[in-house]
Amino acid sequence: MFTPIFPAGAAKPIAPYVPATKAGNAIYVGGTLAIDQQGKSLYLGDMKAQTRYVIEQIKSALSAGGATLDDVAYNMIFIKRVEDYAALNEVYAEYFGKNPPARYCIVTQLVREEFLIEISSIAHVGPA
C-alpha cells in the first residue's frame, strides 16, 4: 500500500503517474522536470536554473509527505548533455553538499528536447 502525494503548485504529470508516493517510512519522488503547472517547459537552455527548479520541486514533494531534503537517501539523475555535469554538481552541492545521499547520473535523451535534467529521489522518514 502507498499514499499518493500531490504537493501544492506541482506540475500536472505529463504521463500516468503521481508526483510522489509514501509507502511505510519511504517517500518516492517521481522523475521531476523543469515544467510549470500548465505543462510549459521552464528555463530553456539554463542547466543551473533547471536543476535548482527541479530540486525545489522535489523539496516541495518531500515536505508534503513530511520529509526534507536531509531525508533523501538516493537520487537518480538524468542529464541531456555531459558538458552540463559541472553545472549540475555546482547547484546540487548547494542542496546536498553537507551530507550528500547516494546517487547516479546518466547522460541520455529526455522526454522533451528542451529538458536538460530529470531527478527522481527516495527519502526515508521516521525510524530506520
Cell 533523501, residue located: 72
pTM of the model: 0.95
Question: Among 4, 5, 127, 125, which residue's Cα sits nearest to residue 61?
Answer: 5
Grid coordinates belonging to 83: 558538458
pLDDT exceeding 70 applies to what percent of the chain?
A: 98
Per the listing, cell 503547472 goes with: 37
pLDDT band at 62 (very low <50, low <70, confident <90, very high): very high
1-54 pLDDT, tens digit per residue, is 899 999 988 887 778 889 999 999 999 999 999 999 988 999 999 999 999 999
Q: Exposed/middle/buried for 53, CB within 10 Å: 0-12, 13-18, 19+?
A: buried
At 109, which helix (H) or strand (E)? none
pLDDT for res 17 = 87
**Closest listed residue to residue 122, CA positions, set 20, 13, 18, 11:** 20
Sequence spans of domains, the chain: 3-124
Taking 80 as the threshold, does the pLDDT of residue 127 lie above it?
A: no
In CATH, the architecture of 3-124 is 2-Layer Sandwich (3.30)
Closest CA to 117 of 73, 56, 61: 56
Say if residues 103 and 77 touch (Cβ distance below 8 Å). Answer: yes
128: confidence class by pLDDT, cuts 50, 70, 90: low
Mean pLDDT of the chain: 94
* Dist CA 115 CA 46 (whole Å): 10
